[in-house]
Every structure is written in C-alpha cells, then in structure tokens.
C-alpha cells in the first residue's frame, strides 16, 4: 500500500457543520471500492439498538456505541450553546433497531475544541487520527479522497506553528471502526473467543493495529483478509478487545 506523507506547518478557528443547520459540512468521503472487508452474512443479519446518549460527552458515546456494535458519526452544531460538548440527539433516534455495523449520526451541541486533535476527532469521515511518530512529530492520517488543499489550510491554522506531517490513507477512522467491530465479535479465527488481544486505530499505519499472540499462518490469513486495513503485532495482553 502506498502512503504519501506531506510536510506542513500550522493554527486558528474552525467551522464545522451543524446537522439541520445552515452551516456547511465537508461532504462525507466515500471509501474506495474493494478496500473494506466484507461482513459475513451472519454479521449482516445481526440487529442492535441505538443507545440513549443524550446529554453525554463524546467519550462516553464511543464506549456505548462500541458496546452496541454501531459506528457514531459526529455532527457538531455551533448554534446550540446549551450543554456545549454534549449530545443533543441521534439519527436514527435512541431505541431504533438497526443493523450491527451501521453508522448513526450523533448531534453534538457547540463546536469542537480549538486544537488540531479536536478538529481531527470531530471529522472522522475525513481523517484516520493523529499520533506522534518515533521522532515525536505529529502525524495526521487523512483520507486520500479528502480535499487536501482545504484541509491543509485548516490544519496549518490549528497547529499554531507546531511541526506535523500529513499521511494519506485509503480508509478513514469510521471505516476502521467497522473493522474493529468485526474483530470484537471474536470469530476471526478458530478459538479467537479464548484469545486475549488489544486493538486501536493507528494513523501511522492507516490501519487497525491488533496486538495478539497467535500463529504465523493465522496472522498471514487474517492480514490478507483485511487487505491493508489491519496490522498485527505479536504479543501477549490481558483479556480485552
């Protein structure tokens, strides 16, 4: 897989789109065809319920949505000042029955915070995430189909003079969340339900990083199945995932 690092500098305010408001939201980025693993028929048929997250913070939303096997798409609403930073609703609404792995729009009051990290976290359909590389330089993973010129201008303002680099990726954070949900079913190899593992979205790798103690043939098979969306690091961890 080819990734293209671009070095930039950056600081300033951002405008995000409000759900149902007049402000403009960057259009969602469609994942490239064939890049995402196909869910099994069983997974496709599984249903779940949209959790009640009104008045909660974004961090709590992520936890509850992971438990519900759903992908939250954040939409900040700068015009809503009451309860800034908390959820004011979802679409579909809480209690709706949907397919596991579906995306649910989460409407958040106010605007994201003023930092580069806040902006990246608030635009999961454009970015993979942000992390420091081995040299301590911040790396921003961005989808290869994003409007790079526009995003570079915004990121440069928010970086406030700090050095960072941009790395283009074939998938977004939202795409990789779906991979995590599939892995969390613990059926990716025989006996996976008894294995201990940890996983995270890694913007440096443009992939989900899975830390697990499993055989080399199983690692090769699983890595091939996810076509670059998964990197596996051998190692023992406490029961998790």
CATH number at residue 35: 3.30.10.20
Q: Strand locations in 95-203, DSSP E?
A: 97-99, 103-109, 127-132, 138-143, 163-169, 197-202
pLDDT in tens, 25-75: 444 444 433 344 444 444 445 999 999 999 999 989 999 999 999 999 999
| pLDDT tier for residue 85 given thresholds of 50, 70 and 90 | very high
Q: How far apart are CA 121 and CA 117, in angstroms?
A: 6
pTM over 0.85: no
Claim to verify: residue 130 and residue 187 sit in the same structural domain: no
Are 102 and 179 part of one and the same domain?
Answer: no
Residues 92 and 136 in one domain: yes
Q: What is the mean pLDDT of the chain?
A: 84
Question: What is the rounded distance in angstroms from the CA atom of residue 209 to the CA atom of residue 133?
Answer: 15
At 221, is the secondary structure helix, strand, or coil? helix
| Rounded CA separation 18/9 (Å) | 28
> Does some domain include residue 239?
no
Last residue of one domain, picked from the residues 169, 193, 218: 169
Question: Where does the pLDDT of residue 222 fall: very low under 50, low under 70, confident under 90, or very high at 90 and above?
Answer: very high
pLDDT recorded at residue 81: 87
Range with the poorest average pLDDT among 13-22, 38-47, 173-182, 204-213: 13-22
Instruction: Specify the number of domains making up the chain.
Output: 2
88 and 204, same domain (yes or no): no
Residue with tokens 């080399």: 216
Report residue 237's pLDDT band, with 50, 70 and 90 as the boundaries: confident
The domain in which residue 146 lies consists of 5-169
Same domain? For 95 and 212 the reply is no
């Amino acid at each position: 897989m080819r990734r293209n690092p671009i070095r930039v500098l950056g600081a300033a305010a951002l405008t995000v789109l409000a759900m149902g408001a007049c402000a403009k939201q960057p259009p969602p980025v469609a994942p490239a065809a064939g890049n995402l693993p196909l869910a099994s028929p069983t997974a496709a048929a599984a249903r779940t319920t949209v959790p009640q997250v009104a008045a909660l913070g974004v961090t709590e939303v992520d936890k509850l949505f992971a438990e519900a096997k759903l992908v939250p798409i954040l939409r900040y609403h700068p015009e809503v000042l009451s309860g800034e930073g908390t959820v004011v609703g979802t679409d579909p609404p809480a209690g709706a029955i949907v397919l596991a792995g579906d995306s649910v729009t989460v409407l958040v009051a106010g605007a994201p915070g003023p930092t580069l990290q806040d902006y990246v976290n608030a635009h999961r359909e454009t970015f993979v995430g942000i992390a420091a590389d081995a040299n301590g330089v911040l790396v921003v993973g961005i989808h290869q189909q994003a409007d790079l010129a526009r995003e570079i201008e915004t990121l440069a303002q928010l970086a406030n003079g700090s050095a960072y680099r941009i790395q283009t990726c074939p998938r977004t954070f939202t795409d990789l969340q779906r991979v995590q949900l599939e892995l969390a079913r613990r059926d990716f190899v025989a006996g996976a339900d008894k294995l201990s593992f940890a996983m995270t979205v890694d913007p440096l790798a443009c992939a989900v990083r899975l830390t697990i103690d499993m055989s080399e043939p199983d690692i090769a098979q699983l890595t091939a199945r996810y076509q670059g969306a998964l990197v596996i690091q051998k190692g023992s961890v406490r029961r998790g995932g």
